[in-house]
Structure 1
Amino acid sequence: MHRAVSLQILLLLLCGGHVHSEDECIKASVATCDACIKSGPGCVWCQDLNFTKRGELEAVRCDTLSEILKRGCPRSKIVNPPNDQRKIRDKPLSEGKQGNSPVQIQPQEIYLELRPGKPHTFEFKFKRAEGYPVDLYYLMDLSYSMNDDLKNVKNLGIELLKNLKKITGSARIGFGSFVDKTLLPFTDTNEEKLQKPCPREETQCEPAFGYKHVLSLTDDGESFRKMVSLQRISGNLDTPEGSLDAIMQAVTCVDEIGWGNSTRLLVLATDAGFHMAGDGKLAGILEPNQEYCQLDKKNMYIKSNLWDYPSVGQIARKLEEKNIQPIFAVTEKVADVYRELSQLIPKSEVGVLSNDSSNVVKLIVDAYNKLSSNIIVTHDNLPNDITVTYTDCEGKKEHSDKGTCNNVNIGKEVTFSVTVKALTCTDEKTFNIGPLGFNEKLTVRVKTRCECECDNERNTQHEHCNKQGSVVCGTCRCNPGYLGQRCECSLGKKDEAALKAQCRKDNGTECEGRGDCECGVCKCHLTEAGNSYYGPHCECDDEHCEKYQNKLCGGNGDCKCGECKCKDGFEGTACQCKKSNDGCLTRSGSECHGRGKCMCNQCSCERGYKGPKCETCHTCSVPCQKSGSCIECLGFGSGPFQKNCTESCSHLKAETEEKLLKSDCRVKDHEGCWMSFTMTEQDGFDKYNVKILKTRECPEGPNVGAIVGGSLAGVALIGLLILLLIKGLIYVKDLKEWKRFEKEQQRRKWADGENPLFQKATTTVANPTFTGDS
């Protein structure tokens, strides 16, 4: 709640709204009483006709009460609308005997008229009536793990009613049950399993279902026993159950369940956790929970498989809206889960069930006693531009978003202080305040007071307004065609906006707020000392110059339009110093080394220089690179500044040296040679003494013969390498071809057949002389 209120205030500020302290009055340029009281809760308005002087702004009528009285306004002429409270219904607290309903809160309806920003506090009383009826709806998990618990609950009704009636005298009890959505992955959707989700050995089994309303609230314990006896256990797949689905229906189905004007209790009995908003997406359910009752003729929840589970926030909001207090009767294994849930739901309790729910009656009675004795007062549907805070019944905890009181016994009366504040002017707004868990509410109607109720004279031809207007809250409301403080100006052919524009300097405030614009001319007001403001827009006065030793302009000058004009021999913004520069002179005779101005015998340094005489600069650096061209022309007569070296480099005073003890700078000239020099700062800005080394370091010229010879040798070597590479490639190719030829020759096979056309020789002639010797 604190965050919500903070966010509302921030939004109002961003949107142009104002949040004021109680005694604040912003002295804005207001011209009417209505605008004045809207400026702050501490603003009052003087409606006395003679309160303002001729030409004085009407805005002086608006100020804090102390200032207005100090200026001489009679108390009878001060308009200061207070906060007002009227009790519309204010029945006294009562027990409600003889057939009458008990009255547990007082008052029942009030009407507040509030000044914006001004808080109003009133008392809110509460008293627990004896015999106030109780409605208890028992909502039970019927998944298979609760089988033993169901057997005990069947005999619960009569005993539970008996115990509650001992406390309240009147009690009713109802019953509902739940399991989970009948969709995968929550329930087995096999048709056989949907009809009998229990184990096979279980003969009595209810078909799978989400939520079912069984018995409306009744004071007949026997009916409860009979209806619960007819209930059978059911089952599902996963461990978490559809508890929040069932709670939402039990809360919203007011007529079906029969919730009455009573203390409403909802008991949730389970041994498992719960599904919440978003889990329905696992079964393809995308539509969020719509937060209203959806029961068919058989009192079954018909939207179980179409709407997602509700969120915890939805449940908490609906429980508070319907004044229902939940009691989570759970087993030990899930008790921590529901304790965390209880932290998010106001007026809820957690009790630990025994394994078979045999202790459920004691658990419910203890939880009811604890809930009913802890009173929490809060509001609902609070408008954005209204804030409400509370103090607890003992007055210890102030300005909280809830009023709390513990251990409130039956018949004990407690009082809370409630503070309501309207942040801005607004139309009538209504909201309710009441204790959580009880139906009785205080209706608060709030209207803001943003209009003045003045003793107006209805004469439209009033003498105070030059008979051209009427008096409204001490100021003139001029007839059409007239304007001015006393309606003394006739517009003629010019419109009012054009005339007023002539009185604005640089489109600023009219006459700088120091005069009245009358027919396009500023009529300046008097200053506090009785002198007049002056200037075309009343922008000047001779009283608001700087003081020294509590004297205007130190007594050594005259104030002219807000600035001191010093007499001869004095200087300073307040003419507080005698003219002297002794403390600013350096050894060289310059003032502040030429890097500042001497004011009041002290140096006021510029451009980052510091020290008593502006001698040091930690952020300044020697401009070596920038000075390269000047060094080249001053020291060596070359470079781009060679023709106009004197003019371009007048800020440098150069000398050449045979040898330098140190070299601050080293820069290349346009020929690539290195120049070495030092730079020492002179008085003033960007002036240096320079010492230049006579010799430059130039790179040696190229050896043409070596370059040419080396180039030719390189070309020849490259050519030879290329020839050898080509020769090698040819040799490798030929070698491959030769080897392939040899392999083919080895694989050859000649045919042995003879040509049938070939005939051998028939005659053989031997040479007789041939001996056979070669």
Structure 2
Amino acid sequence: MDSETTCLSVAMCMDFLLIEPCTGCAAPYGFRNIMSLSNNANRFSGEVRRAAVSGNLDAPEGGFDAIMQAVVCREKIGWREKARRLLVFSTDAGFHYAGDGKLGGIVKPNDGECHLDTGGEYTHSTLQDYPSISQVNLKVRQNAINVIFAVTSEQISVYDRLKDNVEGASSGMLSNDSSNVVDLVREQYDKISSSVEMKDNATTDAVKVTYYSACKGSGPAIQTNKCDGLKVGDVVKFEAEVEVTNCPSDPRKWKQIFKIYPVGINESLIVDLEMLCSCPCEEEGDQWFIRKAEQCSKFGTYKCGICECDKTHFGRTCECDSDNIHGAPGLPVGGCRLDNTSVVDCSGRGTCVCGVCECETRENPEEVISGQYCECDNFSCDYANGLLCSGPDHGTCVCGKCQCKPDWTGEACDCRASSITCIPPGGGEICSGNGDCKCGACECYEGKEGRYTGKFCEKLPSTSGRCLEFKDCVQCQMYKTGSLTAEECLGNCTFTPSSVDVIEVHEEAGEVLCAYFDEEDCLFAYVYTYSDNNTLIVRAQEERECPPEIHVLGIVLGVIGAIVLIGLALLLLWKLLTTIHDRREFAKFEKERMMAKWDTGENPIYKQATSTFKNPTYAGKSC
């Protein structure tokens, strides 16, 4: 009886623990969808505040169940088709994964399907095991969702390793009070949205997909499947090269369908691939199957238009054997390799025929592969400004290196060989004596007052260069003002400025901005620079910026009028207030008079203002 009582007590305690794992806590559950995706921020905040805390009996949590249901229950969660999908997973604990369910007697594997009831409750927590990492990765990839793991510092190392196994996932450290969750999500979203990564789901080893892109550059494409640092509106082009490396032994795998897609974006390119691994002409009895054929010098079998030579012959038509190989003696494969360290014939860009390289031809007829070992070409030299060897005017590509014309030098023939472009107009020292001429341009020295600037290093930061020198000519030619007369302007000015509406300065082109006030207190601005042949170029603002005209008399009259109006307004206000006050006093007087206790006729102390006296002798008769 004692043991039975003990067992009953333990069961009751366990039942109580599961119903209320802590004071005020909700009973544990696998996953619950509280609210579908919505733009109602107030409701979302309310649901977060009302969310009850729960607990479980061990440290790891069933986060994989939650991720799986949030990913696959697309309609109940509210995922839109044409939208970038982010799933933020926040926790301070580890996770259960496939196999842990066996500890509770659950052996049925996770099926990766949606199991939410009408109330949003996950119904299979006790029916099937947790998902595996590969299952989570598969469903995330199929539904084009980017997972952001926002975890505390104790768990960040675990989830850093986890994100490497979930496509498109990222991780960030959450503060203990979760105050940085918004900044963390924004930071991770910026990383996700500024990057494009191409992937494919080709599963067989016989298919190799290689990606090429120049990302945001204009040069040749390089082998990469990811471009970073993108902004809204940037256009990135990827080229995918699909290569069949070998024919699978299972003929059912000769026809495959796979997708090429950007990670985290619900778009894809479907590739329907059919491998030509078997042809009827490879079977004996076909008209294109001929043993010891004339086409193969009678030393091989003609299959599908190609010779399959016997063991002692080789070559396209089996015309080569050990007696007629020619090439450099002592080199392997009859001289088709550059030296003993080479592992490929003809530099990998040609075919070795009887010890001689036959180089490949390119789709572009102007691109040529040449050399005894096909080691040279005229298209793989350095580019400058998007042009091979800076263009035909600067140099040509010979055997992978630029051969520059006499006036040019540099790896891409983009530097002038002469220093004449570094000499200021009118002569003088190279770079005004304040710099070195490199690649046809001045590199300025650092002076006591700062670095020299300008195309010819003629300007210090504390000086105005040649601005003052050009000021009078700009004034007289553009605005007909200044100290020069029309005749002096015509005779002294050696340049004619061009007019622009707004002055824009391109410092990288060596332009210098000048701005002055003239005698009318108007601001005018202009820039000067030099062309490639050292010709002075001046651009001036078409209209001066003059202060508005001030009408003194109008201002004085306006002030006087304002003072008069203010005085009249004050008088009227005083009159109004006085009238109101008098009327109130009169009304008060009338009220007090009406409420007097004695009438004026009954007041015993009241006396008339006049007195009447009667003459007793007067009889009312007139004289």
Question: So what's the TM-score if we normalise by structure 1?
Answer: 0.33
Question: So what's the TM-score if we normalise by structure 2?
Answer: 0.41
Q: Which has the larger radius of gyration?
A: 1
